[in-house]
Structure 1
Amino acid sequence: MSDRDERPKRTFLFGPFRLSSSKRILSEGNRVVRLGSKAIEILIALVERAGELMSKRELIEIAWPNTFVVEANLTVQVAALRRALGDDETANQYIVNSPGRGYRFVAPIKVLEEERGEADLLVAREHNLPAQLTRLIGRAEALNSIKRKLANGRLLSIVGPPGVGKTSTALQVAETMLPQFRDGVWLVDLGSITNESLIPSALASALPIDVRSSDILSGIVAALRYKNMLLVFDNCEHLIDGAATAIGALLRGGNEIKVLTTSREPLRVQGELVNRLPPLDVPPLVANLDLKVALTYPAVQLFVERAAAVVSNFELNDTSASFVAQICRRLDGNPLAIELTAARVDAFGVKGLASRLENRMSLPADKHRGTSSRHRTIGTAIEWSYQLLSERERHILRCLGVFAGSFTLEAAVAVIAATEDDTATILADLVCKSLLSVDVGTDGVRFRLLEITRAFALAKLIEKGERNELAGRLASCLAEMLRKCADGSSRVQTLREAVLELDNVRGILNWAFSTSGQDGAGVTLAAAAVPVWLENSLLTECIGWTTKAIDALRPSVESERSEMILKAALGLAVMFTEGMTSRSRDALNRAIELAGHLRDRHWELRARLGLVLFLHRRGDIKGALEGTKRIEKLVADVEEPTALAMMKSVKSASLYFNAEYPSALNLAREAHAFFRTHANASQIGRWGLNHSVYAQCVMTGVHWCEGRFDQTLRACLSAHSEAEENGNPTSICQALSWCGCTMFLRLEELDLAGEAICRMRRVAEENDIQSYLFSAIGFEGRLLFLKGEFEPAERHLREAISKLSDARYENSSLPFLGRLGVLLATAGRPEEAVLASAESLERIRAAEAFWLLPDALRIHGTTLLSLEGSKSKSAESHFREAITISRRQGALGWELWAVEALTEMLQQQGRNKEASALLERTLGKFVEGFETVPFRRAKMMLEKLRGTVAPEARQQPSPGPRTRL
C-alpha cells in the first residue's frame, strides 16, 4: 500500500472550502472546484501539514513520485491552486511562498475525522470545460442575465471587444448550468480553425459522438437530435458565416440543444439573443479618490486581486488607489489589459506602472487608422507587456505562437531550443504575468495562449523570420507523439485523448501545405495523424488531409512509406463514407502494393483487412476468399496474436458468405474468445471495424443457418449486449443489422424485430452512418409487409435498394431486391415480381454469394408460382434446387423455408403424401428450437397434412410460407 493510501481519511474545512482527502475533491459551497490530480495532491499535502513549511522537493516527490521533474512544474501547479482558491480578498490568504525554500498553508482549518457519509455535492455531468482557475470579477449581473435569457431561448451570443472576458463569462455560465443538461455541456473552440470547412471536424472532435459520413455536419445534427445539451462555441468572429450555418443546423435538428457563443459580433441568425459584455466599471476622474470607493469598482478589484497573486504583501491604500484608478481608466476597463498590467506590479510598482502606461499609450505609432480604441488598448497592452519581458522571455513567448491550440510542457520544451529547466521556468513566469493561461486537467497541465495573444506572438515570430524553423520542429514533435499514441499498449485511449493535439496538427498542416511551408513535414505529420482521425471517426477530415498529403508527395523511399499509410487511410475512410467506390478500392490496392514493396507486413495486413471488408460489402465473395488466403500467409510472418485473431474473424466471415458454416463457426468462436479477453485489440482506428462484434455476428448467422434457433436467439442478445457495452455506433448497427433485424425477422419475433429496427435507425441517423440507415429502412419495409401494410412496405424497400445500390453495398441490396419480389407477388403484380426476383437471383449467382443462394432460389420459385399457378414446373424446380443446395451446405434454416414453400405447392396439387414425407424429413433434423415460431408453424402444417391436428389448433391462424419475407 502506498503512503498516499495510508493517509487518514479526513475532511478539511477552511474559508468557504471543503477538502475531502478520501474523495480527493475540493468544493466551494455547492460547486466542485475542478483541479488536476497533481494540484489536489499538493493541496492535500499542504493542508495536512498546515502551518509547516514544506520544501519544494517534498511537494514534488508527493505529486510526482518516482519521476524527475523540474521545479517549474510545481510552480505552475501552485499558481493554479492559488487562483482556484481566490475569494473576495486575495489568493494568498491560503498558500504563501517562502522564496527559494517552499510553501506553507496558513489559513485556519477545521478537521472532520470521519466523512459522515457525505453525498456527492453535484450531479456528475459529462463535459470538456477547462478548469476556471481565476475568479470572475464584476460579471454577476451579466451572468444572471445570460442564464435568464438561455432559460427562455436556445441561442445566445456574448458579444464584445477583444479581452473583455467573453470566454471567461461563457465558461462560468456553462459550469454553473452543468446540472441542467442531461447529456452535458461541451466547449467547441473555433479560435485555432482557419477554414470554415473544418468547423464540423472541430465540433466532432469536441463531442462524445462517432460520425462516419462524408457530410460530418449532417451526421452531427443526426447524432444530437435527441440530446439535451449546451454547446459553447468560442471565438466565432473570424468564421461568422460558417459558425452561423453550423449552429443553425444544430438548433433545427434537435429541440433540446441550446447554444452559447462568444464573438465580436452577433451571428445574425433567427432566434439569436445577444448579450453585449461591456468593459468593467472604472472609477471616475476625481481628486483624492477614497480607498473604499475605489474598491467598489470591478476594474480596481480585478487589478488588486491579480497584483496580489504576484506580490504576496500587495495592498491597496489611499495613496495607490488613485494610481490604480488611473491605470484602469487608461485601459478602458478591459479585463485582459488590466490583468497583463497588474502582473508587472512587482517590477514597477503602481505609480511606475501608471507613469509608463501613460507614456506608452500616447505613442503615435499605436493609433492606427481604422482600429477601434479598445482594440488599440488591448494591442498596446500586449505590446507593452512584451517589451517589459527579458529577451529570453520574449523569445519563448514568440515561439509559443507556433502552437495553434493548447500544448504540454513537454511539447514546448521539444520545440523551443533551450534547456528544459529554462523553458519550464519561463512558462511558469508567463502564467504569472497573465500572458499564458494554464488548464489543469486530470492527467496533466496544458498551456494555451489567448487567441489575441497568440496572433500577436505569431506575428512577431514571422517578423523575426523564425516561424518555419519552429513549425518544422513542432511538426516532428507532433508526428513522434502521435506515433507513440498509435503504438502503445493502451492505444485506444491514447488515440482518443490525442484529439487534444488536433488543433496543433491542423495549424501545422495548413502551414506545411502553404506556399511558404514544407510539404515533406506535412506529409509525415498527416501520416502520423491517420490513426487519430480513424479512431475518432473524423473521416471527412481524414479524407481531406490525406488527399492533400498524397498530392504533395515527392518520389523517395520515405515518401513510399507515407503514401502507403495515407492510401490505406483514404481507402478506409472513403469506404465508410462514400461507399464501395473505385476510389476506395484503388487506394487500398495501392497501399497493399507499397507495403509489399517495403516488406511492411503490419501495414500490408491492415490494408488487406480493409480490402476484404470492402469486398464483403461489395458482395465479391470470390475476391474476399482470395484476399483472405493472402491474409493467412501474412499472419504467419507478422507473429502477432491480435493479427491472428483478426485473420480468424475476417476468414470466418468469408467462409460464412461462402456457405462453409462449420469452419466459419469454429474460427468465429476462436476470434471472439480472444477479443473478449483482449478488449483493446479490436479498435476501429487500427483495423477498420470491431472484429469482436464481427465474429459474434458470424456465429449468430451460422446458428440460424444450421437450424439452432434457440442458440440463434441467445447469440443475438449477446451480440447486442457486447456492441452496446462497446458503445461504438458502427458496432451497434452491425450487431443490429446482422443479428437483431435479420435474425428476429427470420425467427418471426416481430416485436423484437421492431425494437431492433427502431434502435438501428436511430443510431444510424444520430451518427449519419448511411449504409446502416438505408438497411434499417429496408428492414422496416420487411416488417411492414409482414403486418400487411404493402404500400409503405414497397416504398421503404425501393428506397433501401436504390440507396444501397448507389453505395455498391451489394450484400445488403440484393436480399432486399428479392424480398421486393415477394411483396409484389403477394400484392398481385406477378410480372414485376418475377423480374425483381430473377435479377436478384442472377446477380447472386454471378457473385457466387452462396450464403444467399438457397433463399434466392426459393424467392424466385415463389414469384414464378404467383405468375404461372400451382402447377408451375419452373417454380417446383427452383424449390427443389433450393432444398438440394441447402442440404449440401448443411443450412437447415434455409432448407425448412424451401421445404415449406414446396410442401404448400404439392398440397395444392393434391400430393399430400409426398408433401408430408418431405416436411417430416426436414423437421426430424432439428434438435432444438421446438418452441420457436418457424418450427411450430411447420409442425402444424405437418399435422394438418396428416389430419392429426387438434380442433382448437385448426382454428388458430398461422402465417404461410408464401407470405414470408
Structure 2
Amino acid sequence: MPDRNDRPERTFLFGPFRLSTSKRILLEGDRVIRLGGKAIEILIALVERAGELVSKRELVAIAWPDTFVVEANLTVQVAALRRALGEDDNANQYIVNSPGRGYRFVAPIKVLEEERPATDQPAMQPAHNLPAQLNRLAGRAEALRSMKQRLTDSRLLSIVGPPGVGKTSVALRLAEAMLPLFPHGVWLIDLGSITDAALISSVIASALPIDARSSDVLSGIAAALRYKSLLLVFDNCEHLIDGASAAIGELLRGAGGIKVLTTSREPLRVDGEQVFRLAPLEVPPIGVSLGPKDVLGYPAVQLFVERAAAIVNDFELTDANAGFAAQICRELDGNPLAIEVAAARVDAFGVNGLAARIEDRLHLLADARRGTPARHRTIAAALDWSYQLLCERERYVLRCLGIFAGSFTLEAAVSVIPAAEGADTASILADLVCKSLVSVDIGSERTRFRLLEITKAFALAKLVEQSERNELAARLAACVTEMLCRCADGPKEVQTLRDAVQELDNVRGILDWAFSTDSHAQAGVALAAAAVPVWLENSLLTECIAWTTRAIDALDPAIEGERNEMVLKAAHGLAVMFTQGMTGQSRDALNRAIELAARLGDRQWELRARLGLIVFLHRRGDFKGALEGTQRIETLVADADEPAALAMTKSAKSASLFFRAEYAAALELAREAHEYFRTHSDVSQIGRWGLNHSVYAQCVMARAYWNLGRFDRTVRACLSAHSEAEETGNPTSICQALSWCGVSLFLSLEDLDKAACAIQRFRQVAQDNDIQSYVFSSIGFEGRLLFLRGQIEPAERLLREALSKLSGAQYENVSIPFLGRLAEVLAADDRPEEALLASAECLERTKATEALWLLPDSLRIHGDVLAALQGPDSEPAETHLRDALEVSERQGALGWELRSAESLASFLGRQRRNSEAAAVLERTLGKFTEGFDAVPFQRTRAMLDGLHNRKPG
C-alpha cells in the first residue's frame, strides 16, 4: 500500500458520489458527506484497490498508523461508511465483507486525474457542533423543502411526531442544509441527557461558543447572542416541555437575530411557533400485488432495502421477497427507527422469515400494551423483539449502554461494562452498531457512540429491571472521574478541557444518580471535583456553583479534610467571586481551600486558591493583604516545577506592586508574565486559575506606562490588551481590558472619542453577560466622560448611581476613584462644601486601604476642593497640592505629577506667583520623553507659555 503522501491525486466517481484524494472529501452531488480522517482513509484505500480484497490488518495499519487498536474499531468505521454510501436507485452496492478476512470495494468507478494543488487549504466551514449525518433520508425531500421554507419565514419551527419517526435525523439534515445562512453557526442543544429543567441553561451554555459568567445564565446567554445570527437546534424537548418552552421563549425575545428548530413529541406552545408534524414513511398499500420496482417507489421500503444492504452482502429486492418487505414496513407503520431495527436482522432470518417473526411479536405485544398509543407500541415492540433476538451477552451490553446519559467512546464502554470470558465488548458494540441499535458518529477524529433516546430509555429500563443500574453507574462514575482527571493534567489542556464538554451529559447523569441517595454520594463528590476544570474552562460557573454546593454538602465528615473538599471549595470560591461578587462566602471558600492544600502538601492547589484570593483582595481594595499573599506564594512557585504557575504569580504580583505604586517593578513582572503567555497560548488559565492572566498582565503594563508618563506606549498597550481579550471571546477578559486599561486610561489621556467607543463596548459586553460590577463601572465612566464634555448635571447623576451600586458590590478599587471624580464635579458646580465631603472621604479611604497608586490624585483633588472652598490663600490647599506633587515625584508617577503640577501652578498663578508656577511646570514637562501630542501635556504646555507671557506678580 503506497504511503498516503505518495499517492497520485485523483477523483473517483461511483454512483452519485465523488471522492477526492487531494481534498480528502466525499461528496454526494453538492453535499459534503462529513467523514472523520480514519473513515476517509479507509474509503480511499478500498477505492484505490477496487475489486481487490483488502485485509483487515492492512486497513487498520492505514487508519491507525503506529497505534494499537482492537479490530472492532475497523468494524465500526466500515459499518458507518456503508451507511453513508447507502444504495442508489439501482440498488448498487459499494463495500462487501469477506468474513474474517477483509473488505472489497465492488462498485464500478471512473477515475479523474487531479493536479496537486499548490496549497491545499480546505475551505472555511461555518461554525457548528452538528454530528456527521451518515444515513441518507428516504422519502423526506418534500418535508425538508417545506420545513426550510417555514424556518426561513419564521423564527421558531418545531418538528413534532411519535418516537422513532425520525425527528432528530430530519432536524439535523435541515440544520446542516441551512449552515450557509447563519454567519455565527448552527448549534445543537440535546436535552435528552438531562432530567432536571434547572440544567437547561447550563446545557445551552456548554453547547455554544460563548461565556456566560452570570448568576442568571439564561439572560446572560440571551444577551451574548443579541447581535448574532445563528440557528439553535433543541433536540428531545418533550420530557422538559415547560422548561424548554420558557428557555426558548426568553432566548427568542432577548436575541432578535437567532432562529430555533426543535424536536418534540408535542408542540412548545410558544408565541410564533410553526409546527411541522412529521408523518411516518409512506408504505405500500395492503391487498395489492407489487413487484420489486413498484415497492421501491415507497420511502419505507427504500429505507428497509438500504439498511439491509448495509448488513448483507449482495442483498437485493426480488419478486420472491418484495411482498414480504412491503408487509414488514406496513406492520411497523412506516416508523423509520422500527424499520432500521428490523432490517438489521435480515442477515439472520431473511426477508420472508423476518416478516413472519415480526408479525407474531407485534401482535403479542400489542395485546399486552393496549394502554399505550399504537405507534408507541410499534417502536417498543420492535425494540423488544430485536432485543430478544440478541444473545445473552449482547443483551447485557445493550442494557449496560443505557447507563450513558450522553455520547460515549469505545474506550469508555469497554471500561464501564464488566468483561466476560470469551466475549469482547468492543466487538459486540460494533455488532450492535450494525444491528442499528447503537448510533455512531465518525465525523470527527474520535469516534463516539450514542443510543437514540427511545433506545436509551428501553435499555435503562431493562437495566433497572435486572437490578444492575447501581453497579454500572458506579463503574461509569469511576471511569468519567479518571478521564476528567487526565484531561486536566495532560498536554494541550485548554483544548482537552473544552472538548471534555462532550462528557458533561454523562457527568450530569451520574451526579443526579449519586446525590439521590447517601450511599452513592462520595462517588458524586469525587466526580464533581474532577469536573471542576471543565466547568471553569468553559465558563459554566452557575452549574459549577450548583454541583459544588451539592458535593460540599455531601462531604463525609469523617474525611472532611480530603483533597476533594479542597478542590470543591477552591472552585466554589472562584465561581461565586466571578458571578456574585466579593462575598464572604467566596472568601471563606478560598481560605478553606488554602488551609486544606497546605495541610495536604498540595502546592499546586494551594497556588490556585491563593491566586484566586489575591484577585479577590485586589477587587475588594485590600492591596496590602494582596501583596502579602503574593509574597507568601512566591516560595511555593519557586519550588514547584510549573512555569505557568510562575507566570501567573508574576501577573498577580505585578498588579499588587502597581497598587502599591511600585511601577517599574510592576512593569517588569507584567512583561515577563505576558511574554510567557504569548508563547504558551495552550496553557489553561481560566480552567485552572479562574482568570486570563495574559490580559491581566497587559492591563498592568498599560496602567504602569500611564503612571510613568509614557503616554504613547500607554495607548499601544491598551489596544493590544483589547485585541487579545476580544480574540479570547471571554466577556470577563474583555470587560477587564476595557475597564482597567481602556476606558479609564483614555479618559486620563482625555481622548474623548476613544473613551466614548470603549465605554459603549464595555457597557454592551457587561450588560449582555450580566456582569453587574462592570455594568456599574460603565455608568461611572460615562459620568466622567460627560463631565469632561462639560455636562455637569448628568455627570453627577451617573457618578452617584455608580457609587451607590459599587458600594453594595464591595468593589473598592473602582469606587474610590469615582468618589474623587464626584468631588471634582461638585467643585465645578460651585458646591465646595459638598465637594469637600466627597474629597475628604476619597482621601481617607485611599489611606485606609493603602491604595498608594491613588494617593497623589486623592491629595490633589482634596487640595483643589480646599482652594475652591477657602480661597486662593488657603494654606491647607497648598499643602495638599505640594504633597500630591511630592508623592508623585517620589513614586516616579509622572502621569500623576503632571496633574499635580497643573493644579499647583494654577493655585500659585491665582496668587500671582507666576515665576514659581512656571518653575513647577517646567520641571515636570522636562521629564517627558514621549506623549507630546496628548491633551494633558498640550494643555500644561499652553499653561506654561501663558505664564511666560505674563508680567511677574
- For residue 280 of structure 1, give the secondary structure of its aligned residue in structure 2: coil
Distance 1:364 1:763, change over 3 A: closer
Contact 1:366 1:380 in 2 (8 A): no
1:768-847 aligned at under 5 Å gives the runs: 768-847=770-849
Contact 2:548 2:568 in 1 (8 A): yes
Contact 1:860 1:878 in 2 (8 A): yes
Contact 1:818 1:837 in 2 (8 A): yes
1:85 Cα deviation after fit: 1.4
Distance 1:245 1:828, change over 3 A: farther
For 1:810 and 1:824, the matched residues in 2 are separated by 21
For 1:674 and 1:119, the matched residues in 2 are separated by 32
1:364-383 aligned at under 5 Å gives the runs: 367-368=368-369, 370-383=371-384
Q: Which stretch of structure 1 is more off in the superposition, 397-406 or 550-559? A: 550-559
Contact 1:122 1:179 in 2 (8 A): no
1:536-559 CA-to-partner distances (Å, cap 9, x unmatched) read 000000000001001101134586
2:554 to 552, 571, 589: 552
1:66 Cα deviation after fit: 0.8
Task: State the match for 2:708 in structure 1.
Answer: 706
Amino acid at match of 2:17: F
1:645 to 644, 647, 655: 647
Task: State the match for 2:565 in structure 1.
Answer: 563
Amino acid at match of 2:321: S
For 1:762 and 1:9, the matched residues in 2 are separated by 50
1:178-193 aligned at under 5 Å gives the runs: 178-193=179-194
1:109-128 aligned at under 5 Å gives the runs: 109-115=109-115, 124-128=125-129
Distance 1:907 1:236, change over 3 A: same
Segments of 5+ residues of structure 1 without an aligned counterpart are 950-965
Task: State the match for 2:513 in structure 1.
Answer: 511
Distance 1:8 1:869, change over 3 A: farther
- For residue 557 of structure 2, give the secondary structure of its aligned residue in structure 1: coil
- For residue 682 of structure 2, give the secondary structure of its aligned residue in structure 1: helix
Task: State the match for 1:482 in structure 2.
Answer: 484
Q: Which stretch of structure 1 is more off in the superposition, 360-369 or 163-172? A: 360-369
Contact 2:188 2:234 in 1 (8 A): yes
Distance 1:843 1:109, change over 3 A: same
Amino acid at match of 2:304: F
Task: State the match for 1:885 in structure 2.
Answer: 887
Contact 1:92 1:308 in 2 (8 A): no
For 1:291 and 1:718, the matched residues in 2 are separated by 69
1:63-462 aligned at under 5 Å gives the runs: 63-89=63-89, 93-115=93-115, 124-363=125-364, 367-368=368-369, 370-418=371-419, 422-462=424-464
1:468-867 aligned at under 5 Å gives the runs: 468-515=470-517, 518-557=520-559, 560-681=562-683, 683-867=685-869
Contact 1:413 1:424 in 2 (8 A): yes
Distance 1:14 1:557, change over 3 A: same
1:387-431 CA-to-partner distances (Å, cap 9, x unmatched) read 111100000000001100000000000001126971111111111
1:599 Cα deviation after fit: 0.9
Q: Which stretch of structure 1 is more off in the superposition, 623-632 or 797-806? A: 797-806
Distance 1:110 1:828, change over 3 A: farther
For 1:295 and 1:275, the matched residues in 2 are separated by 26
Contact 1:857 1:881 in 2 (8 A): yes
Q: CA RMSD in A?
A: 2.0
- For residue 681 of structure 1, give the secondary structure of its aligned residue in structure 2: coil
Segments of 5+ residues of structure 2 without an aligned counterpart are none
For 2:71 and 2:896, the matched residues in 1 are separated by 72
- How many residues end up aligned between the 2 structures? 948
1:247-298 CA-to-partner distances (Å, cap 9, x unmatched) read 1111111221000000111110111111111111112211423433322211
Contact 1:123 1:179 in 2 (8 A): no
1:578-611 CA-to-partner distances (Å, cap 9, x unmatched) read 0010000000000001011111111111110110
Contact 2:9 2:116 in 1 (8 A): no
For 1:640 and 1:817, the matched residues in 2 are separated by 41
1:891-910 CA-to-partner distances (Å, cap 9, x unmatched) read 11101111111222222232
Contact 2:210 2:224 in 1 (8 A): yes
1:90 Cα deviation after fit: 7.5
Distance 1:596 1:366, change over 3 A: farther
Task: State the match for 2:13 in structure 1.
Answer: 13
Q: Which stretch of structure 1 is more off in the superposition, 709-718 or 626-635? A: 709-718
1:343-389 CA-to-partner distances (Å, cap 9, x unmatched) read 11111222222222222122267543542111111111111111111
1:761 Cα deviation after fit: 2.5
Contact 2:651 2:697 in 1 (8 A): yes
Q: Which stretch of structure 1 is more off in the superposition, 702-711 or 164-173? A: 702-711
1:558-579 CA-to-partner distances (Å, cap 9, x unmatched) read 8611000000000000000000
Distance 1:416 1:328, change over 3 A: same
Contact 1:595 1:604 in 2 (8 A): yes
- For residue 319 of structure 1, give the secondary structure of its aligned residue in structure 2: coil
Distance 1:344 1:54, change over 3 A: same
TM-score (norm: length of structure 2):
0.96
For 1:554 and 1:888, the matched residues in 2 are separated by 55
Identity value in percent: 72
Contact 1:192 1:503 in 2 (8 A): yes
1:92 Cα deviation after fit: 6.0
Contact 2:15 2:88 in 1 (8 A): no
Task: State the match for 1:47 in structure 2.
Answer: 47
Contact 2:537 2:684 in 1 (8 A): no
For 2:460 and 2:142, the matched residues in 1 are separated by 36
Contact 1:656 1:664 in 2 (8 A): yes
For 1:831 and 1:539, the matched residues in 2 are separated by 46
Task: State the match for 1:29 in structure 2.
Answer: 29
TM-score (norm: length of structure 1):
0.95
Contact 2:563 2:600 in 1 (8 A): yes
For 1:868 and 1:948, the matched residues in 2 are separated by 25
For 1:125 and 1:774, the matched residues in 2 are separated by 36
- For residue 419 of structure 2, give the secondary structure of its aligned residue in structure 1: coil
Distance 1:238 1:792, change over 3 A: farther
- For residue 357 of structure 2, give the secondary structure of its aligned residue in structure 1: helix
For 1:911 and 1:315, the matched residues in 2 are separated by 107
For 2:305 and 2:334, the matched residues in 1 are separated by 13
Contact 2:776 2:805 in 1 (8 A): yes
For 1:790 and 1:302, the matched residues in 2 are separated by 74
1:193-227 CA-to-partner distances (Å, cap 9, x unmatched) read 11111011100110001121111111111110100
Task: State the match for 1:960 in structure 2.
Answer: none
Q: Which stretch of structure 1 is more off in the superposition, 734-743 or 154-163? A: 734-743
Distance 1:595 1:119, change over 3 A: closer
Distance 1:119 1:672, change over 3 A: closer
For 2:23 and 2:806, the matched residues in 1 are separated by 52
Task: State the match for 2:922 in structure 1.
Answer: 920
Task: State the match for 1:953 in structure 2.
Answer: none
- For residue 337 of structure 1, give the secondary structure of its aligned residue in structure 2: helix
1:927-946 aligned at under 5 Å gives the runs: 927-946=929-948
1:812-834 CA-to-partner distances (Å, cap 9, x unmatched) read 12212221222233234434333
For 1:796 and 1:178, the matched residues in 2 are separated by 44
